[in-house]
Structure 1
Amino acid sequence: MRGPSPFRGPLAASEFAPPISLGPPEKPSFIVLGSGCYRIGASVEFDWSCVSCIRTLRETGHRAMVINCNPETVSTDYDESDRLYFEELSLETVLEICHFEKPTGTIVSVGGQTPNNLAVPLDKAGIRILGTPPSMIDRAEDRAKFSAMCDELEIDQPEWSEFTKMEEAQSFAEAVGYPVLVRPSYVLSGAAMRVLDDEAQLHSFLATSAVVDQEFPVVISKYIVGAREIEFDGVGNKGTIVNYAISEHIEDAGTHSGDASLLLPAQRLPLELHRRVMQISTQMCKALQISGPFNIQFMSLDGASSSMRSVKVIECNVRASRTVPFVSKTLNVNFIELATRVMLGQDVKPVPVNMFNFDFIACKVAMFSFLRLSNSDPHLGVEMQSTGEVACFGQDSHEAFLKAMICAGLKLPKEPCGVLLSLGSKEKKLIVDHLPMLVEMGYTLYATSGTKAFIEEQKPMFNGKAIAVTLLNTAVSEKTPNVSDAVLDKLVKVVVCTPSHRDSAASTAGYVLRRKALEAGSALIVDIRQ
């Protein structure tokens, strides 16, 4: 095998050219694997982590080399690293470069899922991986191994099991009850992950996808409706947490963390739950021998009998998460700088953190490109769909959230106008208490037939009078007045339409309404928690 032949200067390309000698490096060299091409789920958040790692390496007197193939990233700028290999992040290419450069170590934990997937095969090939041991990365990534570890540590999680046969999967789903969550291993952004409501959906999904595999069996778990989701971002040093941040999702669990709206610090987390989250995170950091960045996602169940049962673990990523830039900027502590120093073996002491002593709230919300994606259904689910994000600060959660939503492109009307409500059964119950506020603000209420009937049954009042709601027929109906005409004629400028079906491919009346609202430039709200 011939070695790679670098260009002059810091840029390099691994051609199959005669081997050359650059002489021994003057200082210890480390390779940082980047995030690869931009796509939904892998974007600038991971490149921020890569750049922070590279700069820390150079500031501490080390030689930093980067392997990445995206010209849009900062990490591929010619002056960011000592040497850049503009190459794909495949096992063959990375091994070739590592064998040629003979680095002191390789960092896989700052570029997202793509480089993290290379940790185990690189380790087997004799490449030294800095940070968390590759065997522990595999223990966290493999759904079955991770769930078994949780059982050993007596950490609660949704009921689960793994399968390679369709019949076994159907029997388990019937036993725990629908809906269920199908989760393959080693995936980014919820790819190939689905929430399924019945046996027909389960059979259709498993029969038409390649997720049932002998090497990596599919894991099916009970999907819990209405739970609150909590994010824990931390830095570990040989199994001890040295810094952390706890944020919460505004939306219920089931919305991908890359699409969800986050509040930092968490605003609805009682002290008892905060302690339980810290306890579990400490256990996992120690069990996985984490040295570097990591992220744990939890769900909290209101009304549970005890704090031990009220907090369940969803997953743990032993790498930098996409929320690391957000928490680093909010807390004014660069988590990746700390993690890099840990991976270099420096003596990094735990940083004092007080999640209860903030005089501001930070909110991160996602940005979407549904308008550019023909026939896409603008709704939230377990598979990531956002293409960007913004964050804002406020004196309270409402101010921070409103600022962030406006920055993300939500066009709220400046004057009172028509608000159209088209909600599922659960959301109908939640909206009733807010109707008097909308009427007081001067908004005129419209609703589709099911939502209007439910509101009239509840008989909400304002100033001693029943709240009036005008009926609009669905977008697929030929009757008038029609939601399509109301949206296009600007009679309605705010549309609150939550999907009644989790399958984004289902062409329902709600889907048609959401597309109409999006194309007309209306303010579209698809999650009642927002």
Structure 2
Amino acid sequence: MMHTKRPPQPRRPLLDHRFIPDQPIRKVLVLGSGGLSIGQAGEFDYSGSQAIKALKQEGIYTVLINPNIATVQTTRGLADKVYFLPIDQDSVMKVAENELPDGILLQFGGQTALNCGIELHKRRFFQDKGIRVLGTSVETIMDTEDRERFNARLAEIEEPFAHSASASSVEQAVKEAQRIGYPVIVRAAYALGGLGSGFANNANDLVNLARKALSCSPQVLVERSMKGWKEIEYEVVRDAFDNCITVCNMENFDPLGVHTGESIVVAPSQTLSDAEYQMLRNSAIKTVRHLGVVGECNIQFALNPNSREYCIIEVNARLSRSSALASKATGYPLAFVAAKLALGKALPAIRNSITQETTACFEPSLDYIVVKMPRWDLKKFERVNPHLGSSMKSVGEVMAIGRTFEETIQKAIRMVRDYYVNGFERDIEPYSDEEMQTPTEARILAIASGFAHGRTVDDIHAQSQIDRWFLQRLAHITHFEQHLTRLAGAHATSGSDNWLTVELIWRAKQLGFSDRQIGRLVGNTELEIRKLRKEYGVLPNVKQIDTVAAEFPAKTNYLYMTYAGGRGIHDVSDRAGGMVVLGSGAYRIGSSVEFDWCAVSAIRTLRSQGTHSIMINYNPETVSTDYDECDRLYFEELSFERVLDICEREAADGVSCFDGRSDSQQHCHVAASPRCAHSRYDTRND
């Protein structure tokens, strides 16, 4: 498992002059990500838009190459000039020769931009034209993308990695697998979203995987499988002066074996001891410093759940989907800061735009829990393998925020299932041991059925290897659901009224139960439960995301709602009026970044007219969920209950919708409500 130790290498000087421009940077070429694809979606519209904002704040002329007409970053008025051309070598060379930029940013366009930049670097195009690659160098990017080079760099600082070998042919891959021993995992170099990767238990599996991987990459890595270990991620930021911080750490709900983009992800980590957290944090900072990353990067670890043994899985020396999640989860504008660092600025010199008092060198502290849940549209494809593995299949994701895991996971389930499911509900998906061992998108709800039908935490842990802490929290939801159902049945038999007390409703809401969910359990309608809880004074609190757990006052209106933290204790005051804009929710086949463009355009128009704008959305990949786009941002559900809560809290003058799916359904419900009869409603659906 562990590599052979080598003599320690000399530490880099604290000031790395390679990343501090010796000449003023006046014009920068930014590479976008091109068309959306599995594993590369709206998160790069968000990161590219933030980078352009940062460059323009510094007075730098920006030139963007991106052929995707549906993106916010290609909107008139953001970049100074936009080329709707493919992200390939010929197009980039032609634009660069025409524009003569001082520098180029590769890290904000995903794997497409990185691969293009690497090929141009190999051809010495940047060197010959005098164009600086800003931020992390191409050599460092190649160190993280080429698996053989990556392992060699980790060995220099005695950081552990999986026993592995690279191969450029199927025959070589089989030979290396026999030497390492099955099971193994095959990973493709320079690939997007785990494309071409998978687990092989024997030579036949390996041959099929290696052929697939080599069809999309010149190199594959065959490495020892650590399936069943915990998967932990850290988002790390470093400047050219060697200031380095971790912005966010995240833990996968699913054990290793499911791609992190396919897994439910929780931030901050919930099952690590402080010793484990600090061990991995120190390793992350040590690795990023040694590699010479300047800007932002993501580092992924495998951690043995039965010991403190760990190894580094990979480092992404660029903005990624995890970066967008970490940025929205903490309120730390990762892409904006990374662009500033690429210009040679120091972290202490950049202000934290959330608090406007601390610097960007201040590590975020969270007093809430965030859950990311992927969304799949597998039913729209024929003959697709429904099982989740090391290659991405999800087309979007949602992000829920709350004060308890139970509250937050139930929010996330409703978001990703478009409210056809009320939360962690039984009998939506059947339980089976096979589902636990080889999961599909149905596993989270299959667990609910398992608990409801007598399966224990230990039973499900033995089959799934999901950490017991998560399973205990989920079992808690099921136990309360059963308790509420028993009470409803007993009082229905006796004919007694008023048994649904304020304490029961408070407890249900703190565990994430929606009004409709409670109504289904006790035999009432959603509106009846809403009326009752309002009579009891059971109302959600509005909380701010401030990056520093209230140690400093926040100046932003980045908000979420929760029933925890006392009654009637809000972080912001009421507003009188304004326009609510409903976002599109999770991306899906047929509804994607184009509706985020619509929402952002609406918000900017409202603000230009002096109208108070209120955004509601839960998609962390979007520009519309940037805290600086609107007057108030609610990272919340697009449900009848929550939209009505916000409309009443804000005394909204009207609601606008910009999608033909999730938000338009809620628009119809809210518009029909007599409680919002005074408001105006508008919809823009395609």
TM-score by length of 2: 0.56
Amino acid in structure 1 at the alignment position of 2:197: M
Secondary structure at the aligned position of 1:31 is classed as: strand
Q: Is the 8 A contact 1:109 1:319 kept in 2?
A: yes
Structure 1 window deviating more from structure 2 (67-76 vs 167-176): it is: 167-176
- Give the equivalent residue in structure 2 for 1:237: 239
- Give the equivalent residue in structure 2 for 1:382: 390
- Give the equivalent residue in structure 1 for 2:228: 226
Cα distance in 1, alignment partners of residues 433 and 81 from structure 2: 55
- Give the equivalent residue in structure 1 for 2:192: 188
Q: Does 1:394 align with 2:422?
A: no
Q: Is the 8 A contact 2:246 2:281 kept in 1?
A: no
**1:217 Cα deviation from its structure 2 partner:** 3.4
Amino acid in structure 1 at the alignment position of 2:253: I
Cα distance in 1, alignment partners of residues 47 and 213 from structure 2: 33
Alignment of 1:494-505 (within 5 A): none
Cα distance in 1, alignment partners of residues 377 and 97 from structure 2: 41
Structure 1 window deviating more from structure 2 (97-106 vs 233-242): it is: 233-242
Cα distance in 2, alignment partners of residues 116 and 212 from structure 1: 15
Q: Is the 8 A contact 1:211 1:217 kept in 2?
A: no
Q: 1:281 aligns with which of 269, 281, 284?
A: 284
Consecutive unaligned residues of structure 1, counting only runs of 5 or more, are 1-25, 442-449, 452-530
Cα–Cα, structure 1 residues 60 and 378, in superposed 2: closer, same or farther, change >3 Å? same
Q: 2:110 aligns with which of 109, 112, 120?
A: 112
**1:424 Cα deviation from its structure 2 partner:** 2.9
Q: Is the 8 A contact 1:360 1:393 kept in 2?
A: yes
Cα–Cα, structure 1 residues 73 and 94, in superposed 2: closer, same or farther, change >3 Å? same
Structure 1 window deviating more from structure 2 (318-327 vs 204-213): it is: 204-213
- Give the equivalent residue in structure 1 for 2:452: 438
Secondary structure at the aligned position of 1:283 is classed as: helix
Q: Is the 8 A contact 1:256 1:383 kept in 2?
A: yes
**Deviations, residues 156-201 of structure 1 (Å, cap 9, x unaligned):** 1111012235444323323433221111211111111121121111
- Give the equivalent residue in structure 2 for 1:323: 322
Cα distance in 2, alignment partners of residues 298 and 192 from structure 1: 20
RMSD, aligned CA = 3.0
Cα distance in 1, alignment partners of residues 260 and 428 from structure 2: 32
Amino acid in structure 1 at the alignment position of 2:363: V
Q: Does 1:137 align with 2:141?
A: yes
**Deviations, residues 194-214 of structure 1 (Å, cap 9, x unaligned):** 21121111123335663598x
Cα distance in 1, alignment partners of residues 199 and 383 from structure 2: 21
- Give the equivalent residue in structure 2 for 1:290: 293
Cα–Cα, structure 1 residues 204 and 348, in superposed 2: closer, same or farther, change >3 Å? closer
Amino acid in structure 2 at the alignment position of 1:347: A
**1:312 Cα deviation from its structure 2 partner:** 1.1
Cα–Cα, structure 1 residues 70 and 333, in superposed 2: closer, same or farther, change >3 Å? same
Cα distance in 2, alignment partners of residues 70 and 401 from structure 1: 33
**1:266 Cα deviation from its structure 2 partner:** 0.9
Q: Is the 8 A contact 1:27 1:63 kept in 2?
A: no
- Give the equivalent residue in structure 1 for 2:263: 260
Secondary structure at the aligned position of 1:158 is classed as: coil
Q: Is the 8 A contact 1:364 1:390 kept in 2?
A: yes
Cα–Cα, structure 1 residues 208 and 108, in superposed 2: closer, same or farther, change >3 Å? closer
**1:37 Cα deviation from its structure 2 partner:** 0.5
Cα distance in 1, alignment partners of residues 306 and 288 from structure 2: 28
Secondary structure at the aligned position of 2:35 is classed as: coil
- Give the equivalent residue in structure 2 for 1:334: 333
Q: 1:80 aligns with which of 65, 69, 78?
A: 78
- Give the equivalent residue in structure 1 for 2:524: none
**1:243 Cα deviation from its structure 2 partner:** 4.7
Aligned length: 410
Cα–Cα, structure 1 residues 413 and 294, in superposed 2: closer, same or farther, change >3 Å? closer
Cα–Cα, structure 1 residues 434 and 100, in superposed 2: closer, same or farther, change >3 Å? closer
Q: Does 1:201 align with 2:195?
A: no
Secondary structure at the aligned position of 1:404 is classed as: helix
- Give the equivalent residue in structure 2 for 1:524: none
Amino acid in structure 2 at the alignment position of 1:412: V
Q: Is the 8 A contact 2:250 2:269 kept in 1?
A: yes
Amino acid in structure 2 at the alignment position of 1:57: L
**1:422 Cα deviation from its structure 2 partner:** 2.2
The structure whose residues are more often helix, as a share, is 2
**Deviations, residues 116-148 of structure 1 (Å, cap 9, x unaligned):** 112333332123210011111111111110011
Structure 1 window deviating more from structure 2 (339-348 vs 62-71): it is: 339-348
**1:325 Cα deviation from its structure 2 partner:** 2.1
Q: Is the 8 A contact 2:301 2:311 kept in 1?
A: yes
Cα distance in 2, alignment partners of residues 136 and 322 from structure 1: 20
Cα distance in 2, alignment partners of residues 380 and 37 from structure 1: 24
Cα–Cα, structure 1 residues 273 and 404, in superposed 2: closer, same or farther, change >3 Å? same
Q: Is the 8 A contact 2:34 2:66 kept in 1?
A: yes
Cα–Cα, structure 1 residues 74 and 416, in superposed 2: closer, same or farther, change >3 Å? closer
Q: Is the 8 A contact 2:159 2:283 kept in 1?
A: yes
Consecutive unaligned residues of structure 2, counting only runs of 5 or more, are 1-23, 349-359, 456-462, 465-686
**Deviations, residues 270-298 of structure 1 (Å, cap 9, x unaligned):** 11111121111112211111111111111
Cα distance in 2, alignment partners of residues 354 and 209 from structure 1: 38
- Give the equivalent residue in structure 2 for 1:312: 311
Q: Does 1:412 align with 2:424?
A: no
Amino acid in structure 2 at the alignment position of 1:375: R
Q: Is the 8 A contact 2:169 2:214 kept in 1?
A: no
Secondary structure at the aligned position of 2:431 is classed as: strand
**1:435 Cα deviation from its structure 2 partner:** 7.8
Amino acid in structure 2 at the alignment position of 1:114: T
Secondary structure at the aligned position of 2:346 is classed as: coil
Q: Is the 8 A contact 1:293 1:319 kept in 2?
A: yes
Cα–Cα, structure 1 residues 376 and 77, in superposed 2: closer, same or farther, change >3 Å? same
Q: Is the 8 A contact 2:161 2:312 kept in 1?
A: yes
Amino acid in structure 2 at the alignment position of 1:405: I
- Give the equivalent residue in structure 2 for 1:504: none
**1:101 Cα deviation from its structure 2 partner:** 0.7
Cα–Cα, structure 1 residues 200 and 351, in superposed 2: closer, same or farther, change >3 Å? same
Q: Is the 8 A contact 1:212 1:218 kept in 2?
A: no
Q: Is the 8 A contact 2:430 2:449 kept in 1?
A: no
- Give the equivalent residue in structure 1 for 2:467: none
Amino acid in structure 1 at the alignment position of 2:276: L
Cα distance in 2, alignment partners of residues 433 and 67 from structure 1: 46
Cα distance in 2, alignment partners of residues 229 and 132 from structure 1: 25
- Give the equivalent residue in structure 2 for 1:159: 163
Q: Is the 8 A contact 2:251 2:270 kept in 1?
A: yes
Q: 1:421 aligns with which of 423, 426, 431?
A: 431
Cα distance in 2, alignment partners of residues 68 and 121 from structure 1: 18
**1:419 Cα deviation from its structure 2 partner:** 6.0
Cα–Cα, structure 1 residues 252 and 97, in superposed 2: closer, same or farther, change >3 Å? same
Q: Is the 8 A contact 1:27 1:61 kept in 2?
A: no
Cα distance in 2, alignment partners of residues 173 and 69 from structure 1: 41
Cα–Cα, structure 1 residues 74 and 171, in superposed 2: closer, same or farther, change >3 Å? same
Secondary structure at the aligned position of 1:384 is classed as: coil
Q: Does 1:37 align with 2:35?
A: yes
Cα distance in 1, alignment partners of residues 267 and 70 from structure 2: 29
Cα–Cα, structure 1 residues 437 and 134, in superposed 2: closer, same or farther, change >3 Å? closer
Q: Is the 8 A contact 2:429 2:449 kept in 1?
A: no
Cα–Cα, structure 1 residues 323 and 83, in superposed 2: closer, same or farther, change >3 Å? same
Cα distance in 2, alignment partners of residues 332 and 417 from structure 1: 37
Q: 2:362 aligns with which of 346, 352, 364?
A: 352
Cα–Cα, structure 1 residues 162 and 352, in superposed 2: closer, same or farther, change >3 Å? same
Amino acid in structure 1 at the alignment position of 2:318: R
**1:259 Cα deviation from its structure 2 partner:** 1.6
Amino acid in structure 1 at the alignment position of 2:137: P
Secondary structure at the aligned position of 1:169 is classed as: helix
Alignment of 1:43-58 (within 5 A): 43-58=41-56
Cα distance in 1, alignment partners of residues 380 and 345 from structure 2: 47
Cα–Cα, structure 1 residues 98 and 73, in superposed 2: closer, same or farther, change >3 Å? same
The structure whose residues are more often strand, as a share, is 1
Amino acid in structure 2 at the alignment position of 1:51: S
Amino acid in structure 2 at the alignment position of 1:155: E
Cα–Cα, structure 1 residues 193 and 435, in superposed 2: closer, same or farther, change >3 Å? closer
Cα–Cα, structure 1 residues 344 and 247, in superposed 2: closer, same or farther, change >3 Å? same
TM-score by length of 1: 0.72
